[in-house]
Amino acid sequence: MEWWKERAFYQIYPRSFMDGNGDGIGDIKGIISKLDYLKWLGIGAVWLCPVYASPNADMGYDISDYEAIMEEFGSMEDFDLLLKEMHKRDIKLIMDLVVNHSSDEHRWFREARKRKDNPYRDFYIWREGKEGREPNNWSSFFTPSAWSYDETTGEWYLHLFSEKQPDLNWENPSLRKEIFAMINRWLDRGVDGFRMDVISLIAKDQTFPDAPGEGYQMDPTLFSFRLQMHQYLKEMRNTCFRGRDCMCVGETTFVNTTNAPLVVGDGTELDLLFQFDLMDIDGGISKWDLRDFDLARFKQIICRWQQAIPWNTLFWGNHDQPRAVSRFGDDTSFLLWNRSAKTLAAAMYLLKGTPFIYQGEEIGMTNYPFKSKDELRDVESLNLLKHATRDEKGKAWKGILAKGRDNARTPMQWNEENNAGFTTGTPWIAVNPNYMHINVEDEQSEEWSILSFYRQLLSLRASEKTILEGDFVLLLPEHPHIFAYERTTQDSRICVYCNLSGEEEKLELPEKGQILIKEAYEDGILQPWGCLITKQNAENSG
C-alpha cells in the first residue's frame, strides 16, 4: 500500500505551532522541537502550510519568493534541518504549493506591472476595462470585485483572492516552465510531495465572460475544473512527479463526485484531493449563511464520496475552518466537549482514506471567544467587516464567531505556562483563555483525554488491515442520531457506532463482537456523544 494511504497526516500552521525564539511567531525551530510529540502521537506525515517568503497579506498564501524561507520562520538551513529531523523519525513532509496566484510583491509581478511589453507581463492576467469599469463582473473570495486597476499601465489584473494575490497566467508556457522547475528543485531538496492550494482554479475561461446575475458574481464554471486544468496537471505530473516516490493532494475547490474521478482516477494528475461538501454542510450560498448540521445529509455526503473515488482524504477541519469540536461537537460542558471530540474522531478517521488532523484538534482545541475586531488577523474576516453595510454588520460578526478562520489559528496549547507554552514573547494572535485545561502536557498524562484517544485510534488504524483496506458499508442508515458504519475484509469486520447527538440511544451489542474501543457505552445504551467500536473475526462470525 502506498505510504500516503497508510500514514496519518498532521497539518501544521507554522505561525501558530511553536515559537522557538520568543518573538511571538511560530517558526521552524519550534516545529523541530515538537517532532517527538508527533511521533509519539502516531503521525507518519506532515502537511506544512506555507513557509515561503511572504508579506503575509494572507498569512503566507501570498508568496513573494517560492524558493526562500520567510525570515520570521527561520532560514533555509533551518528548513533542511527540519526535513532531516523528520526523515530521521520516519515522518514524511509535504509542502504547500500556492501557484494559482503569487504575491503582488513577487519579482514577477513587480516586473509585470511596469510596462505592457515587460517579459513578465504575461505571467499574470491583464485586461482592459469596460467603460471605465472592471473587465467583467467576477467577484473574488475576499473582495467584491476580482479585478484591480493598475495606474501605471491603465489595465486591470485578475485576483480570485485579495488584491495582493494576483492570479498567475497558466496559459503561458514560460510561466508553467518556471513553476515546474521550482517544484523540481523542492523535490530534489528531499520533500515528499505537495498540498496544492486551489489547484482546481488555475485555468480560466479565456473569453472572461460576465457571470450570470446582477452585481459582482461568482460562477465557478468559468474558472474551475476547466479542460486546460487537466492538461496542466498532466503536464506537471510528467515534468515533476513521474518516477519519484512522492505524492500530491489537491485542494480542489468546487470539486464534486462527477469531476473528482477525472483528477484522482488514473494516477495521471493528482493522488488525493480535498473535497468541501462536509465543510459546506452548515452554510448556505455563502459560508456566512449559517445552517444547522444535518445528520442525514452528513451520511449522504460520506457515502457518496466513499463510493465516488477509490481513496478519500478524511478531515474535520483545517486552517480555513473553525474548530471541529465547537462546530460539529459540543464544547458547552467539559464532559460533552471531551466525549464529542473523541466521537467525531472515531466517526471520521476509521473511514476508508487518509486522515488529515489539523494541529490542536487532537487535544480538542475550541473556537476563540472574539470580542472585537482588533483581535482578528485574517484578511477574509477583516474584509467581510469592511465591505458589510451597516445592516450586514451583525450577521457578519455572528458569522465570524462561528466560522472565522482565526478560530483555528490561535496558538497551539502546549502546557499551563504563560501563553500556553507557545511563546515567551507576545503572541501574534491571542491564546485561547481555556489553555489551563486544554493543553498537550495535561492530556498526555491522562488516559481519558482526547489526546490519548487520538493516539489510540491512530494506533488501531495502523494495526488493523480491515480499517486500512476494508470495504465501507453504512449501518443504521435511517437512524436520526447515530452515524454507524462497518469496514470489512474476508478476515474481519469492524463496526463503528457514533452518537452524534446529545440524546441517549439504545444500541444492542452486535453478537459475539469484541469491543475495541468504547466511550460512554454501558448496558446497551450509547450516552450522548458516546461511541463504540467492535470487531468480529471471520471464524467466529459465521
* 172 interacts with, out of ligand TEU, Ca ion, none, CB within 5 to 8 A per kind: none
Q: Are 147 and 132 in contact (CB under 8 A)?
A: no
Interaction between residue 48 and ligand TEU (CB under 6 A) = no
483 binds, among ligand TEU, Ca ion, none (CB under 5 to 8 A by kind): none
Q: Which is nearer to ligand TEU, 80 or 320 (CB)?
A: 320
In the block, cell 452528513 appears at 298
How many residues lie near ligand TEU (CB under 6 A)?
A: 14
Tell me the CB-side half-sphere exposure of residue 475, using CA atoms within 13 A: 20
Q: For residue 362, is it left (φ>0), alpha (ψ between -120 and 50) or beta?
A: alpha
Minimum Å distance from CB 22 to Ca ion?
A: 7
Q: Is 251 tagged catalytic?
A: yes
CB of 373 to ligand TEU, least distance (A): 17
Q: Which of residues 394-433 bind ligand TEU (CB under 6 A)?
A: 405
Q: How far apart are the C-alpha atoms of 398 and 17, rounded to whole Å?
A: 27
Would you count residue 376 as binding ligand TEU (CB under 6 A)?
no
Is the Cβ of residue 251 or residue 443 nearer to ligand TEU in the bound state?
A: 251
- Residues 281 to 300 in contact with ligand TEU, rule: CB under 6 A: 287
* Interface positions, 303-332, toward ligand TEU (CB under 6 A): 319-320
* Chosen from ligand TEU, Ca ion, none, partner binding at 19 (C-beta under 5 to 8 Å by type): Ca ion
Q: Which is nearer to ligand TEU, 123 or 483 (CB)?
A: 123
Kindly name the residue from 197, 271, 361, 486 that is annotated as catalytic. 197
Identified binder of ligand TEU from the candidate list 73, 108, 161, 368, rule CB under 6 A: 161
Q: Closer CB to ligand TEU, residue 47 or residue 485?
A: 47
78 touches Ca ion (CB under 5 A): no
Do residues 244 and 183 lie in contact, with contact meaning Cβ atoms separated by under 8 Å? Answer: no
Cell numbers describing residue 410 = 490561535
Task: Tell whether residue 380 is a contact of Ca ion (CB under 5 A).
Answer: no
Rounded Cα gap, residues 403 and 57, in angstroms: 20
- Contact residues for 229 (Cβ-Cβ < 8 A; gap 6+): 199, 200, 201, 202, 203
Nearer to ligand TEU, 14 or 421 (CB): 14
Q: How far apart are CA 116 and CA 540, in angstroms?
A: 75
Q: Which of residues 6-45 bind Ca ion (CB under 5 A)?
A: 19, 21, 23, 25, 27
- CB 72 → Ca ion: shortest distance, Å? 6
Relative orientation angle of helices 450-463 and 334-349, to the nearest 10 degrees = 20
380 contacts ligand TEU (rule: CB under 6 A): yes
Residue found by looking up cell 503521525 in the block: 43
Compose the 190-219 pattern: x for residues touching ligand TEU by CB under 6 A, - for all others. -------xx---------------------
134 binds, among Ca ion, ligand TEU, none (CB under 5 to 8 A by kind): none
When CB distances are held under 5 to 8 angstroms depending on the partner's kind, the choice from Ca ion, ligand TEU, none that residue 61 binds is ligand TEU
Q: Is 259 exposed, middle or buried (0-12, 13-18, 19+ CB in 10 A)?
A: middle
Which of 56, 169, 253, 534 binds ligand TEU (CB under 6 A)? It is 253
Nine-digit cell string for 493 = 469486520
* Distance (Å, whole) CA 162 – CA 384: 12
Q: How many Cβ atoms are within 10 Å of 110's Cβ, its own excluded?
A: 14
SS3 of 494, please? Answer: strand
Closest CA to 166 of 192, 142, 190: 142
End-to-end CA distance of the chain: 29
The item of ligand TEU, Ca ion, none sharing an interface with residue 282, based on CB under 5 to 8 Å by kind, is: none
**Of 535, 427, 422, 435, which Cα lies nearest the Cα of 486?**
535
Residue with cell 478562520: 405
19 has catalytic annotation: no
Q: How far is the CB of 165 from ligand TEU (least distance, A)?
A: 6
Are 484 and 494 spatial neighbours (Cβ–Cβ below 8 Å)?
no
Residues at the interface with ligand TEU (CB under 6 A): 58, 61, 98, 141, 161, 197-198, 251, 253, 287, 319-320, 380, 405
The residues carrying an active-site annotation are: 197, 251
